[in-house]
Amino acid sequence: MLKTEKPKMNLDEILNIANSNALTVLKSLGFESLVERNGYITGRCALHTGDNCTSFTFYKNSGVWTCWTAGCHNTVAQRNIIGIIMKKTSLDLEHSVKYLCGILGIPAPGVTKKDIEDYNLRRKVDDIFGSDVIASDENYVVFDDKYFNFRFPNIDNTYFVSRGFNEGTLRKFNLRICDNKNDSFYKRIIIPIYDSSGRMVGFSGRAIDERKPKWKHSYRLQPKKHLYNINNICKKNDVNYIIVCEGMSDVWKMYEFGFENCVGVLGCGSFSNGHVISVMRCLPAVSNIVIWFDNDEAGRKSAQKAVNISKSLYTTYNIVLDDNKYNDITEMSKDYVMGIMSNINKYKVQ
């Protein structure tokens, strides 16, 4: 007997269809002046109903959108087309998905309320930990500087200087503070992260008080692919060595000590194959890699992983300290760091 049951469509499939037909959906919601360009749509944001005809951008590949004028994307439960529907129509999630399916003319028998809740939960997890959902380089989300400056206009001196950093470092790395109570990054130092071509691929927020988690990453930042500060090093010619550190604040400290060829891994704990590919691609003259992770068990473990990846391709140094005087680079003095760097051969991996 033939089965007549329609194939079930999950929320990912529905969203994929919605993203490629976003123009239709947005029109149905009262968005005006819509112009479809290669991979994205611009128009007048119908959520805050201002009169700027290019206030809104929707990226068709990822389904992520931005309201440049009023920051409407900060006011929704999820930053995809369903978030737009919920905001505009005041429907709940389940009914927003039904509305979407209706507009697109697709059946949605497979989607249950639980599916939607699970999906929503997964998105929250992605938001906190970053995600590998986007496979190719071309597809990762690039944040506009304009959006970043709009969302985080304020520079923090007090916290940063109280931790012993110079104001020049703060400007060099374009660090901000989020003091907007309604923002999900409230009370965090905001650290923009750029790829080797200088495009902003995300940002991290470090809590300035006891709030958890201590680190929070922006939507779809891909820690295993990007290396902190590689954008600054790539601009220089003939870089023949790099120092790979565990934290972004280690990179700042090393910069202050005069070591500018320093990159940081982003929260994933180690140097990955993806990082090696980035280094090979944009720093072809590098022949030495210095691994300098935290002076604790986790740091030593991650360092060993990094060494294993690096040593067949590069002359590799692994800085493992003999004592427990310092936990990480930010605690060390300039003289101490200079002393280690001038004795670097001691740490060469055979």
* Contacting positions for Zn ion (CB under 5 A): 45, 47-48, 67, 70, 72
Which of 45/86 has CB closer to Zn ion?
Answer: 45
CB of 85 to Zn ion, least distance (A): 14
Residue 283, strand partner residues:
none
Residue in the structure block whose two tokens are 């790979």: 244
Contact between 265 and 242 (Cβ < 8 Å): no
| Residue ranges with strand state E in 168-326 | 176-178, 188-194, 200-207, 215-217, 241-245, 262-264, 288-292, 315-318
Which of 55/278 has CB closer to Zn ion?
Answer: 55
Which of 50/274 has CB closer to Zn ion?
Answer: 50
Which of 88/206 has CB closer to Zn ion?
Answer: 88
- C-alpha distance from residue 238 to each of 241, 284, 285 (Å): 9, 8, 6
Which of 67/201 has CB closer to Zn ion?
Answer: 67
Contact between 328 and 294 (Cβ < 8 Å): yes
Q: Helices 93-104 and 81-89 sit at what angle, rounded to 10 degrees?
A: 110
CB of 182 to Zn ion, least distance (A): 14
CB of 90 to Zn ion, least distance (A): 16
User: Residue 334 corresponds to which amino acid?
Assistant: K
Q: How does 6-36 read in b/e, with b if 16+ C-beta sit within 10 Å?
A: eeebebeebbebbbebbbebbeebebeebee
CB of 72 to Zn ion, least distance (A): 3
CB of 76 to Zn ion, least distance (A): 10
CB of 44 to Zn ion, least distance (A): 9
Residue 245, strand partner residues:
264, 292
Which of 27/172 has CB closer to Zn ion?
Answer: 27
Relative to beta strand 56-59, strand 40-44 is antiparallel
CB of 48 to Zn ion, least distance (A): 4
Which of 70/340 has CB closer to Zn ion?
Answer: 70
Which of 15/67 has CB closer to Zn ion?
Answer: 67
CB of 70 to Zn ion, least distance (A): 4
Residue 171, strand partner residues:
none
Q: What end-to-end distance do the CA atoms of the chain give, in Å? A: 68
Which of 48/300 has CB closer to Zn ion?
Answer: 48
Residue 146 CA to residue 337 CA, distance in Å, equals 37
User: Residue 191 corresponds to which amino acid?
Assistant: I
Question: In 10 A of CB 73, how many CB atoms?
Answer: 24
CB of 135 to Zn ion, least distance (A): 30
